[in-house]
Amino acid sequence: MEFPDNVKYTKEHEWVREEDGAVVIGITDYAQDSLGDVVYVELPEEGSTVTREETYGVVESVKAVSDLYAPVSGTVLEVNEAIVDSPEVINDEPYGEAWMLKIELSDSSELGDLLSVDEYKKFVEEEN
């Protein structure tokens, strides 16, 4: 299981990485592993807003359908259309090519509420 230290995490198994004045979000390696083979992703449109801890999309696997929860609030700058067309990439590269959204933060203080890699590892260990 992969736990990069250049991202922050949520208890909903999503990650956030700051990049060029925006944030990139996706689901963690643990999440994709738990879901199994991902077959469908539904994401919001560019220009829409997402609100922290509220659903912004859906990921469907052979095992389950799961809501995606926004780790931070902001405006969607870019949607990764490649994973909409080829959702299986999420299973292969959850921290790379399978990012979901790029967001312009509406409140940068929300980043302080996210988990560090060590906090997230401990959380995952406690869940198992």
Measured between alpha carbons, how far is 88 from 40 in angstroms, rounded to an integer? 8
In this structure, CATH architecture of domain 8-107: Beta Barrel (2.40)
Residue 121 Cα distances to 10, 40, 94, angstroms: 11, 27, 16
Q: Please check the confidence at residue 127 and state whether its pLDDT lies above 90.
A: no
User: Given this model, what pLDDT does residue 1 score?
Assistant: 87
Q: List the 65-69 sheet strands across, edge first.
A: 38-42, 55-61, 65-69
User: Given this model, what pLDDT does residue 37 score?
Assistant: 95
Instruction: Name the pLDDT band for 94 (thresholds 50, 70, 90).
Output: very high
Q: Where are the domains of the chain?
A: 8-107
User: Given this model, what pLDDT does residue 88 score?
Assistant: 94
Q: What is the pLDDT of residues 37-60, one digit of tens each?
A: 999 999 999 999 999 999 999 999
Please provide the average confidence, as pLDDT, over all residues in the chain: 94
* pTM, 2 dp: 0.92
